[in-house]
Amino acid sequence: MVFRPKHDPLRGVVLSPNLERQLRDIAITTANTRRNKGLFRNVLFYGPPGTGKTLLLKVLPNIVAWIMQF
C-alpha cells in the first residue's frame, strides 16, 4: 500500500504501484542529493509515445520540493 498525504503531488496521476514506488525513490534520492550538495545521477525515461514520460518529468520537481519540506 502506498501512503499518499493530503497534498501529494502525485494525486491524480495514475501509476502502477511498482512504478509509483520507483518514481518516489527517484524523487527521494534527488531531494537527498540536493540537501547534501552531492553529485546528481542521470535518469533516462524511455518508452513509446503517449505513455506519460513528459508528464512524470513535469511532476518530478514538485515531488522533490514536497519531500524537501520534511
Domain regions of the chain by residue span: 46-70
The alpha carbon of 47 is separated from its chain's Cα centroid by a whole number of angstroms, namely 17
Tell me 59's DSSP state: H
pTM of the full predicted structure? 0.58
The pLDDT value given to residue 66: 75
* Residues 23-63: tens digit of each pLDDT: 888 888 888 888 888 887 777 888 999 988 888 888 888 87
Torsion from C-alpha of 25, 21, 59, 56, nearest 10 degrees: 110
